[in-house]
Amino acid sequence: MPNQKNHVAVYDVIRILAALLVVLGHSTYLTITTDHGGIDYSVPSNVSAVYGSGFFKTWLYLSAWVYRFHIPLFFMLAGSVLALSPIENFKTLLAKKTRRLLLPFFLTGLFFMIPLKLWGGFFDVRHISEIAAAFLTGHESGHLWFLTALFWCFAVFFLLQKLLKKSVPVCLAAFLFYIFNSRLPQGYFDFAFSMRFLIFFAAGYYFDRARPFFEKHSKTVFFLLPCLLILNIADTRKHFLPAVGFMAAGCALLYDAAFCLALIFKKTIQTPFFRKTAGRTMEIYLFHDPLMIVILYYCMQADLLTTPAGCWIYFFCRTAGVVLLSVLIGIVIERSFNRVKSVINHRRAGFQRDEPRNCRGN
């Protein structure tokens, strides 16, 4: 969580929207194939009519739309948050982002993602050593690839800033990375692919300079919302924007929507509860996708899609259910960690109190 001095409430709104959208974007897939595993489900032939209802069709449509830009939104948000407290030292940056991004990557991957994907039938337990090796070399990182990609973006953006100084050259360089990312050396943990998102990271960073304007001009914010919504709907139907264009349009829409919500619910987003909720979004990202694999496994085993009630249970489990489980797991891990930390500190304090007595006894 950002400290009080550098805290911006609208970014909390974007955090929550981004986390919910990534769950929505991942909530409808039935088939995934990788080099080391995968799932391949299909809608049963005797599927309930509820699954073909307008509500479920809208859910599938929104999931497909969100999937086009939900990851660039995370990169843009990361850049905006960095702008609140820029890091001047490269060594400090690497240390902080290793602790914040790489450590969760390895711990979540080895002790949560892989076990749950084994449980959900995504991986074959007979190939566990091969799967672990593929994960450690970045070839089977699943949804966690975002963490290593974000680490690369932090590092490269920092170096570009130091080298080029001003925003226009930095953004131009980031855009060139986007265009020519396929020609870059792949490197460790998909370095080349990560550079596709550097332009969104840079856009988020420099957007923070314009943030006070949007905070002060509410009429502009509310005017832009329908304009951006129409642009996104039109492109979803006609596909006239290039890839970077529709990703930028989606990010712009969600940023503007966040400002609108921040203005409407100004008092709510300033509450400690809302800030704590925003602080749980990392847990949602870390845990949601492996949970989705297990939930999907049991939903298909139970043949839920063949009954109306089953369809609604299926929908709840793959949306709100995943969010609630992710938060609950995060809370349990946090409390367990704090308890262990408290025991260690207590014993350390006791040892320090006993040490002078032992010295006097000697």
Q: Which residue has the higher pLDDT, 327 or 6?
A: 327
Q: Any residues with CB less than 8 A from the CB of 259 and at least 6 apart, and which?
A: 10, 214, 215, 221
Characterise 338 by phi-psi region: left (phi > 0), alpha (psi -120 to 50), beta (else): alpha
More confident site: 3 or 318: 318
Which is more confident, 252 or 3?
A: 252
Residue bearing the bigger pLDDT, 190 or 323:
323
Average pLDDT over residues 59-65: 93
Q: What percent of the chain has pLDDT over 70?
A: 94
Segment 280-312, tens digit of pLDDT = 999 999 999 999 999 999 999 999 999 999 999
End-to-end Cα separation, the chain, in angstroms: 48
- For residue 185, give the H/E element and its range: none
Lowest model confidence (mean pLDDT) among 9-23, 157-171, 229-243, 341-355: 341-355
pLDDT in tens, 156-173: 999 999 999 899 999 999
Residues in the chain: 362
Minimum mean pLDDT range among 181-195, 309-323, 329-343? 181-195
With bands split at pLDDT 50, 70 and 90, how would you rate the model's confidence at 352?
low
Average pLDDT over residues 313-328: 96
Asked if the model's pLDDT at residue 215 lies above 50, the reply is yes
- Buried b / exposed e over 171-189, threshold 16 CB at 10 Å, is bebbeebbeebeeeeeeeb
What pLDDT was estimated at residue 2?
42
pLDDT (mean) for 256-267 = 94
Encoded amino acid at 11, one letter: Y
Instruction: Specify the range with the lowest mean pLDDT, choosing from 56-65, 146-155, 169-178, 188-197.
Output: 188-197
- 137 CB-near residues (< 8 Å, 6+ apart): 188
* Cα separation, 182 vs 173, whole angstroms: 15
Q: How far is CA 335 from CA 161, 231, 272, 326, 331, in A?
A: 39, 45, 19, 14, 6
31-33 vs 38-40, strand pairing mode: antiparallel
239's CB contacts (< 8 A; 6+ apart) are 246
Question: What pLDDT is stored for residue 3 in this prediction?
Answer: 45
- For 8-19, b/e burial (b = at least 16 CB within 10 A) is bbbbbbbbbbbb
CB 329 within 8 A of CB 287: yes
CB count, 10 Å around CB of 208? 17
Banded pLDDT at 261 (limits 50, 70, 90) = very high
pTM, to two decimals: 0.90
> Rounded to the nearest 5 degrees, what angle is found at the Cα of 196, between the Cα atoms of 192 and 201?
120
Predicted confidence at residue 184, as pLDDT, reads 82
Between CA 266 and CA 316 the distance in angstroms is: 29
Distance CA 90, CA 228 (A): 37
Distant-in-sequence, close-in-space partners of 297: CB < 8 Å, separation ≥ 6: 39, 119, 120, 121
| Position 349 confidence tier, pLDDT thresholds 50, 70, 90 | confident
Which two tokens mark 352? 């320090």
pLDDT over threshold 60, residue 1? no
Q: Determine the 3-state secondary structure of 295 from DSSP.
A: helix
70-112 confidence digits (pLDDT tens) = 999 999 999 999 999 988 899 999 999 999 999 999 999 999 9
Could you give the CA distance from residue 289 to residue 27 in angstroms, rounded to a whole number? 9
Q: How many CB atoms sit inside 10 A of residue 34's CB? A: 16
pLDDT digits (tens, 9 = 90+) for 114-124: 999 999 999 99
